[in-house]
Amino acid sequence: MDWIGQYNYYVVFFLMMTGFYVVVARGNLVKKIVGLNIFQSSVFLLYISMGKVDEGTAPIIVAGEAIYSNPLPHVLILTAIVVGVATTALGLALAVRIKEAYGTIEEDEIHEQDDDW
């Protein structure tokens, strides 16, 4: 097993768990979004890593090159990045509206303000 050669996957899972932890553990709504972004970025890296072919160049046809990296994961991740940007934008917009409505973006302070239904 080539442990060093898989270092990008270690990075992926480190980022994934970091992001996930931030989303779960932080009470600040903007920090949660940051965590969510780290979490999603790790998935982008996962896809990009799997698209890499040993010795392969960028997937553009040029004379003298026979091996190319797999372009499909790149395309998929372009889509996923767009989705991620939209999610971030919506999340931040909601955080702004919450700030306007409650005067805070700390989760526990928001819960204090709402009477129980």
Residues that bind another protein (CB under 8 A): 16, 20, 23, 29, 32, 36, 39-40, 43, 46-47, 50, 73, 76, 79-80, 83, 86-87, 90-91, 94-95, 97-98, 101-102, 110, 114, 117
Least Å from the CB of residue 23 to another protein = 6
Which residue, 8 or 63, has its beta carbon nearer to another protein?
Answer: 8
Query: What's the min distance (Å) between Cβ of 57 and another protein?
Result: 20
CB proximity list for 65: less than 8 A, separation 6 or greater = 57
Alpha helix segments (H runs only) across 52-106: 71-102
Please answer whether residues 14 and 46 qualify as being in contact, where contact means their C-beta atoms are separated by less than 8 angstroms: no
* Beta bridge pairs of residue 28: 106
Question: Which residue type sits at 47?
Answer: Y
Closest CA relative to residue 95, chosen from 41, 45, 28, 37: 28
Eight-class DSSP state of 115: P
CB 68 → another protein: shortest distance, Å?
15
Q: Which is nearer to another protein, 61 or 62 (CB)?
A: 61
Which residue number, 63 or 114, has a Cβ lying nearer to another protein?
114
Q: Which is nearer to another protein, 11 or 76 (CB)?
A: 76
